[in-house]
Amino acid sequence: MSQDNKDNNITAALSYISILSVIIYILKKDNEYIAFHSKQGMVIFGLSLVGMIPFLGWPIWIISVILMVIGATKAYKGEKYKIPVISEFAEKINF
């Protein structure tokens, strides 16, 4: 694996960590692979914010953490994995 690919995989994996998804998207939106993962990261970040609602939100927060781990793992391995439902919303992001 080339250093560029490794760097891209690490950056894409980091884009699943909360607000980093937005920052990485803004900085690296020209890189198709990183933008793909950071868009999914942004959707999951939004979901995790909903999960902060007291009492009702904890199952949503747990799901969002699981999705972050899955997305980051796939990104680090170099896979362009579409997370069901999340990817549909992510594809609509364009700014």
| Domain assignment of residue 26, given as a range | 3-90
What are the angstrom distances between the C-alpha of 19 and each of 25, 39, 75, 80? 10, 11, 17, 21
Flag whether 79 is in a domain: yes
Q: Has residue 1 got a pLDDT over 70?
A: no
Flag whether 63 is in a domain: yes
Q: State the pLDDT at residue 62.
A: 92
pLDDT tens for each residue of 15-64: 999 999 999 999 999 999 999 999 999 999 999 998 888 888 889 999 99
Q: State the pLDDT at residue 3.
A: 78
Q: Has residue 84 got a pLDDT over 90?
A: yes
Q: Could you identify the residue written with the tokens 């080339």? A: 2
State the total domains in the chain.
Answer: 1
Flag whether 95 is in a domain: no
Flag whether 42 is in a domain: yes
* Average pLDDT of span 72-89: 96
